[in-house]
Amino acid sequence: MLKQVSIYAENKKGCLQNITGILRENDVNILGSVTNDSAEYGIIRMVVSDPEKCIEVLKNAGYICKTTSVLAVECRDEVGALDKILKTLYESNINVNYTYLSFNRETGLPIMVMHTDEVNAVENILINKGYKCD
């Protein structure tokens, strides 16, 4: 299971680059991310190489951050791969709040990062169906 960092940031020019610059300066690698915005603020969700360090350096720079448990599910790079994962979860009565894509740096395979209210249960369901999860 992974720890995702959620960063609450003002929706203004240069804000995202400021965050990525802080992470670069502190040797924190972004492994996957998604950004959701509104008129004034946005939420940047990231899986990073060092979540604790990420939180520390961004909080020191004035950002509001928190960590959340997410699940990384390795999937095949083929049509319908995500649909198969979601169908398995639907059949198990599991709601997926959001997903975003990353990849396994060793195998090159896609990894779906997903957030659910029941991360441990979802991990067990997917492992029992033959999926590789982190």
Tokens at residue 84, please? Answer: 């198969």
User: CB under 8 Å to 2, separation ≥6 — which residues?
Assistant: 47, 69, 70, 71, 72, 113, 134
Fold of 2-68: VC0802-like (3.30.2130)
> Phi and psi for 40 in degrees, rounded to 5?
-110, -35
CATH class of 70-128: alpha beta
User: CB under 8 Å to 132, separation ≥6 — which residues?
Assistant: 73, 74
Q: What is the pTM of this model?
A: 0.86
Whole-angstrom distance, CA of residue 124 vs CA of residue 2: 15
pLDDT digits (tens, 9 = 90+) for 28-55: 999 999 988 777 888 999 999 999 999 9
What was the pLDDT predicted at 126?
93
What was the pLDDT predicted at 41?
84
Full 3-state SS string of 30-68: EEEEEEEECCCEEEEEEEECCHHHHHHHHHHCCCEEEEE
Ordered by start, the domain boundaries in the chain are 2-68, 70-128
* Residues paired with 102 in a beta bridge: 111
pLDDT digits (tens, 9 = 90+) for 5-22: 999 998 888 999 999 999
**What is the residue whose two structure tokens read 């649909």?**
83
pLDDT digits (tens, 9 = 90+) for 59-109: 999 999 999 999 999 998 999 999 999 999 999 999 999 999 998 888 888
What was the pLDDT predicted at 12?
86
